[in-house]
Structure 1
Amino acid sequence: MTATRFTAACVQMRSTRDPLQNRDAAVALVREAASKGAHFVQTPEMTSLVERERAALFEKVGPQAQDPTLAALREVARESGIIIQIGSIAVKEGDKIANRAFLIGADGEIIASYDKVHLFDVDLPNGESWRESATYTGGDKAVLAETPWGYLGMTICYDVRFAALYRALAENGASFLSAPACFTKQTGEAHWNVLHRARAIETGSFMISAAQGGLHEDGRETFGHSIIVDPWGRVLAEAGAEPGVILAEIDPGLVADARGRIPTLKNARPFEVATMSSPSSAGKAATA
């Protein structure tokens, strides 16, 4: 691994209910990024399929070895000599589905994979309700993947709200963190940008996250705004809502610089949480 600069790209998509159509869209956008000088290209969560109906999802998803998007992007990496991070694809695992990310080397081989740990089980104020745990099986391992420029911490979407995951990845050597996503429009408008800047600042790391954006065939609306943030919290590139490509030059030396200026990873100390109560309230509780 070297500290040489490189160009990173995020591919923003609006994936449909048709896996082959999505494969072709991803291939075209990744090739576009490569033609613009990208050395590392990332696609969003659910690159291969955005499908809310459980039965239809299971009908269209197969095992990892048979996934057409994975096979096609492995070939693009080999042809273009670039590193590709597939934000995630849906992979059948028994009676559930894994939401799985992949890092593919410039030789087309799979360097690492990561299954989304935190599943999106929420009820939003606008009436949207999501229960990923009903369909997906959650992962149980954080993953660091080796690149020519340093270690990449692989996460997915909802993971970005769990700061301890990113701290653990940074403490174990990650210089670059990623949370490729299919963020809802409502939550994205409120939190997407600030969460990415916070994770970058807290860990002194780059955050690189491609996203889905726009109104999808299955009725969901995603936020888009694929983003690249440097270790000081500066936004280097950000998309809007439409499909396309954003690029930024990445200087790995900025990681050591940020961590040297604000050494939070070194300064952390173990602690316990103590719960206190006043003597008067304790007395009231005893006599109640």
Structure 2
Amino acid sequence: MDNFCIVTNRNKDINLEITNYIKGYLEKNGKKCVIAESEKIRDDKHTGKEFKSAIPKDSDLCIVLGGDGTMLQAARSAAIYDIPIIGVNLGTLGYLAEVEKNGIDNALEQILAGKYEIEDRMMLDGSMGDKKDYCLNDIAITRYSSISAIDYNIYVNDLLLCTYHADGIIVSTPTGSTGYNMSAGGPIVEPSANMILITPICPHTLNSRSLVLSSKTKVEVEIGSFRDNIGQKVVASFDGCGIIEMTTGDRIGVQRSNMTTRILKLNRVSFLQVLGEKFR
């Protein structure tokens, strides 16, 4: 690896002290390193705005400084060019960010020595008509302004499977299982697995459970009708960034993406060990 870039959450490395330290370390070892700027982009396919990082496409590795939110932002850009990423945790839990601040030197030594593995993580594509987006963690489909629960009709491979009367629906990857999915009571899954998780948010029934489906499954979520034929406004959010607005009768299709997020791994510690440490 010769070409590096750094994506930094400037709210967590305000004076770029850690960013510049890593950049200097790499350059002293004969490597090229640039700091990727984050920019706010308006996409006509979406109704909202999103942040993306200007990661050079010739980068061999993207080092991400921040928390899981910064990792997800960087993943959206890095996946386009098939660039691996590694996270330095400047946040709290940091399930995606493997390196802690006190382990930066050791991590950089391992990277330069080639002592690492690269793990491919599946992503999801979501589409409604000509509106499309993708994510590493999840697509959260939630009510836009109403305080009432909404019916979400779940179709699997074109067949109606069930209806959730809930505040929202989370369609998640295994990587995203420790995010919003876990907070909503969904199952925790080994992140290197290949499957699609569907979890209702605050279901208004006693027997609603998460669904665990094959990664080859085509999922569709339809916004059901409301009493007195009142239309419902709903928003589908992709990793908290890209947004697609929906209303009653709209149906969004979700399936495994052709893109993957490549995460560079330094430790051979199992996912369960990491999970246990985060819970302590």
TM-score calculated relative to the size of structure 1: 0.24
Would you tell me which structure has more strand in proportion to its own residues? 2
